[in-house]
Amino acid sequence: MSTKPMTISFREADLAADCERIAAWQNDARTRPFVTNMRGPDQPDLHVDTLRQRFTGFTDWICRLLVCIDEVPIGFAFARKDPPMLVSKEGGVAWLAYCIGEHAYRGRGLSRQILRELEARALAAGCHRAEVGVFEFNLISLGLIRAAGYQEIARHPEFTWYQDRMWADIRFTRNLTESVPQ
């Protein structure tokens, strides 16, 4: 991989063309435990048609993005407004999620940029608060979310399977109208 500066960009996902790539990232054994609620060690892969149904079945999307470096897709990100799985039921809350699917791009500081892009889009869509979920074994993401000003609001115990045991899903929230440390 080159050491030249990387240019991050975002484009709306083309649901006909991009679902196979997104499903492949979600089914990758190195990525899957971090983005999928696993119910056990033998959970079947996410089928492309199931992903398309999810993407077209919800009406609360703020954005469904491909994350690109130098115009090459390396991950996905999305935001939904007031979906039913939120802890907060106050209204005007965005659910944010992302995945860097290409492993060579992990650990390069992109997650904070992706999170800020999702927050900006949520704010522009009328959301005053954001909520995220991080599995308790994902120590790197937990650190990032806390450093980005998110506060823990709930834990769903025994939520997902990883390394021969069940782990909690930790929910965090942040007021999008308040500034956070850079």
Give the distance from CA 110 to its chain's centroid.
13
The pLDDT, as a whole number, for residue 173 is 97
| CATH architecture for segment(s) 8-132 | 3-Layer(aba) Sandwich (3.40)
Task: Could you list the beta-strand ranges (E) of 59-105.
Answer: 61-69, 72-81, 93-100
> What does the alpha-carbon distance between residue 155 and residue 145 come to, in Å, rounded to a whole number?
15
How do the pLDDT tens digits run along the chain, 182 residues long? 456 678 999 999 987 788 888 777 777 666 666 666 656 667 666 667 777 777 777 889 999 999 999 999 999 999 999 999 999 999 999 999 998 888 889 888 899 999 999 999 999 999 999 999 998 988 999 999 999 999 999 999 987 777 788 889 999 999 999 987 65
User: How does DSSP assign 135-177, residue by residue?
Assistant: ETT-HHHHHHHHHTT-EEEEEEEEEEEETTEEEEEEEEEEETT
pLDDT at 30: 61
The predicted model scores a pTM of: 0.87
Q: Rounded CA gap, 52 and 171, in Å? A: 26
Q: Is 13 helix (H, G, I), strand (E, B) or coil?
A: coil
Domain extent listing, the chain? 8-132
